[in-house]
Amino acid sequence: MFVKLIGYTNENELVPAIAGKLCYSKGGYKGIIEKLDRDKIGKFLQDKVEIGHLSIIEHISFSYIAEGVSRSLTHQLVRHRIASFSQQSQRYVGAEDFEYVVPDSIKKTPGALTEYKAVMEHIRVEYEKLIKTGVPKEDARYLLPNAAETKIVVTMNARELLHFFNLRLCNRAQWEIRELAGKMLVQAKKVSPDIFKDAGPACVSGKCSEGRMTCGKSAEMRKKYRG
C-alpha cells in the first residue's frame, strides 16, 4: 500500500488560529494578526481541539493519494461523506491485467492462497474474453472482485480527518482501512502536529465507542497514540 499526502492548506495552523481568535475578539483581521503570538498558536489549537471547538479546523484540508488498495477498502472510504474522492475508473480503464490485494489471513491459511489466486486468474481470463467479444469495459467490470487493486485521491478537512481517524484506527476497524488511516495520520502529524497531536481511535480522547464489542485495550491505545 502506497499512501502520500499530496497537498494541504497553506499556513494550515495559522488559518484555524485566526478563525478561533475571531470567535473571541471584538476586532477583525488586522487586530487579530497583530496580536497573534505565533509561538503560542500550537497551544491555542491544542486547547480548542481538546474542548471540542472543532469548527475552526474545518477551514483547512488535506489531500492524499492511495495506491495498491482494494475496492473493498474504497467502498468503506467513500462512506465518509464530508470528503472529496477521485478514483481510478473501471469503466474507462481496462482491467485485463488487474492486480489484487491478498489478506494476510488468506496467506497464512494452508491451501487458501492457491485457491484465491486460481479464482483471481479465472476472473482475469473471463474478463479478457468479454472484452475481446466486444462487451464494453463498463459491463465487463461486473466480473471484477472487491479484491481488485485501485487508486484513489481523497481530500478531507481537518475535522473530518480527526473523525476518520477516530473510527478507522479502532482495533475493530477492518484491517486494510486501519492500515490506510495509520499511514495518513503519520503524515498529517508531520505537517500539523498540534491539531493531530492526540488523534487516534475514540478511546484515546474519551471512552471506547464500541460498547460490549470493545477490544479492551484502551490503555494500550492511549499509550500508542497520545502525543
Contact 158, 199 (CB under 8 A): no
Catalytic residue among 79, 81, 168, 212: 168
Cβ count within 10 A of residue 1? 15
Q: Which of 186, 212, 161 is nearest to 3 (CA)?
A: 186
Contact 221, 171 (CB under 8 A): yes
168 catalytic? Reply is: yes
Give the active site residues: 168
